Amino acid sequence: MAAAKKTVSVESGRIVQTIRNLWPYMWPSDRPDLKMRVALATFFLVLSKIVLLTVPYFFKWSTDALSGKTDAVGNMMSLGLGVLALVAAYNLARVIQAGFNQLRDTLFASVGQYAVRQLSLKTFLHLHQLSLRFHLERRTGGLSRAIERGTKGIEIIVRFVILNTIPTILEFAMTAAILGWTYGLSYLAAAALMVACYIWFTIRASDWRIDIRRGMNASDAEANSKAIDSLLNFETVKYFGNEQMEAKRFDQSMEAYEKAATKVWTSQGLLNFGQIVIFSAGMMAMMTMSALAIRAGTQTIGDFVFINVLLMQLALPLGVIGFIYSEVRQGLANIEQMFDLLDTDAEIEDAPDARPLVATAGALAFRDVHFAYDPARPILKGISFDVPAGHTVAVVGPSGAGKSTISRLLYRFYDVQQGAITIDGQDVREVTQTSLRAAIGMVPQDTVLFNDTIGYNIRYGRPSASQAEVERAAEVAQVDHFIKSLPDGYESTVGERGLKLSGGEKQRVAIARTILKSPPILILDEATSALDTRTEQEIQTALDEVSRNRTTLVIAHRLSTVVNADEIIVLKDGLIAERGKHGELLAEGGLYASMWSRQREATEAEENLKRVRETDELGVVLRGRPAGS
């Protein structure tokens, strides 16, 4: 019993805290119309309970009238008219009470949905404010499931706590007062004992069930994450023919979900049966007490019927209390994940006195920059370099040297641990993130497009752009001819993550998007490394056009794309190993020259293999011709 009381106390505290968090959304200061709805809903809530408690009285008076007992009502009217009037009043009261309930729910519907919408939007915005590290460590499927269940949890809390718990408590109080006042403390004590046992059993059984529900939710989230992960990597699954392996992994999660879900429904049956037993025992005790009182002549048959109807009316809210407790516990478990997301602090935040970046020229400077994702493994160990306004500086080096980390630090996905990065003399940590990212354009190696139209994906660079501006950006990016060749043109959909387009087409769309943004600073993060040589050359022409007169930082793997850079920075083990122009670095015969030599050999071998294949194909064609042709 002590454990149950403790659980009730904890749950009550959590419910109160949750309602306190939700209250600003259910009583919004800027929505007087919603406040009026809350007030009217509360009024009809109380009114419906008052009307509901008149129903047993009409039943009692009708019964007494039919059994020949006279009372105030019977003296007012003749027997026939009195019974008809009371029967009509009984049914009319039930209709009126149901009408008030529906009116209450209708008035509160928009209030509850407003709370759901605002909290969902707040969570969505908060997720976008969290760091790249957070999103790299979390599964997208798990996040979407947490938001989905959290949204449902909000609806449960709003609907069951506000629309059911408060009315039920009010009905309990009124019923207890009627029983105690009309029939004495013995009936009140019997009803109180029944309710106490009912609540105790419900809490114990629901606590047992909630652990099963949590296991079911965990299995559900895992299965959903695996399904989304597998579908997002559809091509990789096909490459390796691992459909059965993916299906097996998914089925293992669903098997765990199946077992947990079966236990949930089985436990629900046990809970319902136990509640019925307790309520029936309490009802039998009070009906027996009334029957004995009738035999003693202290009560009428109408009193017997009255107590029966009153208890039957109490059965519904009692049943709802059990359901409410179970659902609210589940709703709290679901909403906990959403609140945990809201309570997750953003790793990167604007300084309290942050001001908008003023990027007039767009000159970049890295000053003794140190950074590590993990303190035990430093990535950048004190690098310093400048990218003068309008110039192009390339950063090259072996894999793992820290090249892409530079672009992430410039975008402020992470903050440097030592040193500083400045734009036109302004430390990026002292300006607003919105203004910082508005001044930078990015063409990444792996361009991910939204599952929408080509026009939408280009316009994403500047949503307010006109159609003419979108088409001009596509023209500069040399993708306009391709788009116009499609049946739906700019309205053609690109598929999930842009899978309907080739690598070169996706890169051109990304370039067009950046052109439309028209930022003073441009980052090309291995923008052509995933493309074939011919496509790379075509894309490079478009990139040269975009980077003209812009401060450009090129993160490159293929050295052929940076030969014209104003300066080339060679990174090795997080330090600047070499720097200079292409010709100067070749003349030094160091790391850059070695990398250049290896890449030239690989390119020549690729071209020789291509020529051999073309010669073989030509020979096959010639051998297939008729003699003398």
CA atoms within 13 A on the CB side of 135: 13
pLDDT in tens, 14-45: 666 666 776 777 777 778 888 888 778 778 87
Answer yes or no: are the C-beta atoms of 159 and 261 closer than 8 Å: no
| CATH 2.60.20.30, applies to 442-518 | no
Following CA atoms 46, 47, 52, 54 in sequence, which dihedral angle do they give, to the nearest 10 degrees? 120
- Coil vs helix vs strand at 592: helix
User: Cα–Cα distance between 220 and 274 in angstroms, integer?
Assistant: 29
**Quick one: pLDDT at residue 12?**
59
pLDDT beyond 60 at 244:
yes
Q: Give the strand pairing for 440-443 and 364-371.
A: unpaired
**Quick one: pLDDT at residue 200?**
85
pLDDT beyond 70 at 88:
yes
User: Cα–Cα distance between 6 and 358 in angstroms, integer?
Assistant: 58
pLDDT band at 162 (very low <50, low <70, confident <90, very high): low
pLDDT beyond 50 at 578:
yes
Answer yes or no: are the C-beta atoms of 191 and 286 closer than 8 Å: yes
Per mean pLDDT, which range of 139-143, 397-401, 506-510, 589-593 is the poorest? 139-143
Q: Mean of the pLDDT values across residues 312-340?
A: 71
| CA 29 centroid distance within chain | 26
**Quick one: pLDDT at residue 78?**
39
| DSSP codes of every residue in 90-149 | HHHHHHHHHHHHHHHHHHHHHHHHHHHHHHHHHHHHHHHHS-HHHHHHS-HHHHHHHHHH
**Quick one: pLDDT at residue 628?**
47
pLDDT in tens, 611-626: 666 566 555 555 555 5
Q: Which among 475, 470, 440 is positioned nearest to 545, based on CA atoms?
A: 475
Q: What's the whole-number average pLDDT of the chain? A: 78
**Quick one: pLDDT at residue 422?**
92
pLDDT in tens, 372-428: 887 788 888 889 999 998 888 999 888 777 888 888 898 888 888 899 999 998 999
Answer yes or no: are the C-beta atoms of 45 and 39 closer than 8 Å: no
- Coil vs helix vs strand at 530: coil
**Quick one: pLDDT at residue 261?**
81
**Quick one: pLDDT at residue 601?**
79
Provide CB contacts within 8 A for 20, sequence distance 6+: none
Q: Say which residue, 158 or 451, is predicted with more confidence.
A: 451
User: Cα–Cα distance between 71 and 592 in angstroms, integer?
Assistant: 108
**Quick one: pLDDT at residue 629?**
45
pLDDT band at 131 (very low <50, low <70, confident <90, very high): low
Following CA atoms 275, 278, 281, 286 in sequence, which dihedral angle do they give, to the nearest 10 degrees? -90
Q: Percentage of residues in the chain with pLDDT exceeding 70?
A: 79
Same topology, domains 352-439+520-591 and 442-518? Answer is: yes
Per mean pLDDT, which range of 3-12, 266-275, 344-353, 357-366 is the poorest? 3-12
**Quick one: pLDDT at residue 251?**
84
| CATH 1.20.1560.10, applies to 2-6+15-343 | yes
- How big is the chain, counted in residues? 629
pLDDT band at 365 (very low <50, low <70, confident <90, very high): very high
Greatest mean pLDDT range, 116-130, 235-249, 532-546: 235-249
Q: Which among 255, 28, 238 is positioned nearest to 122, based on CA atoms?
A: 28
pLDDT beyond 60 at 181:
yes
User: Cα–Cα distance between 404 and 401 in angstroms, integer?
Assistant: 9
**Quick one: pLDDT at residue 221?**
76
pLDDT band at 77 (very low <50, low <70, confident <90, very high): very low
The CA distances from residue 188 to 56, 80, 178, in Å, are: 17, 35, 9
Token readout for 452 is: 């929408």
Q: Percentage of residues in the chain with pLDDT exceeding 90?
A: 4
pLDDT beyond 70 at 463:
yes
Task: Residues 352-439+520-591: name the CATH superfamily.
Answer: P-loop containing nucleotide triphosphate hydrolases (3.40.50.300)
pLDDT beyond 60 at 66:
yes
Buried-exposed string 280-298: b where 16+ CB fall within 10 A, e elsewhere? eebbebbeebbeebeeeee
The DSSP output letter for 346 is: P
The DSSP output letter for 437 is: H
Answer yes or no: are the C-beta atoms of 533 and 606 closer than 8 Å: yes
pLDDT beyond 70 at 627:
no
pLDDT band at 447 (very low <50, low <70, confident <90, very high): confident
Region of 364 on the Ramachandran plot (φ > 0 left; ψ -120 to 50 alpha; else beta): beta
pLDDT beyond 60 at 111:
yes
User: Cα–Cα distance between 557 and 526 in angstroms, integer?
Assistant: 6
pLDDT band at 76 (very low <50, low <70, confident <90, very high): very low
The DSSP output letter for 387 is: E
Written as one letter, the residue type at 419 is G
Domain extent listing, the chain: 2-6+15-343, 352-439+520-591, 442-518
Write a three-state SS string for 321-335.
HHHHHHHHHHHHHHH
pLDDT band at 143 (very low <50, low <70, confident <90, very high): low
Burial of 595 per CB tally in 10 Å (0-12, 13-18, 19+): middle
> What's the whole-model pTM score?
0.60
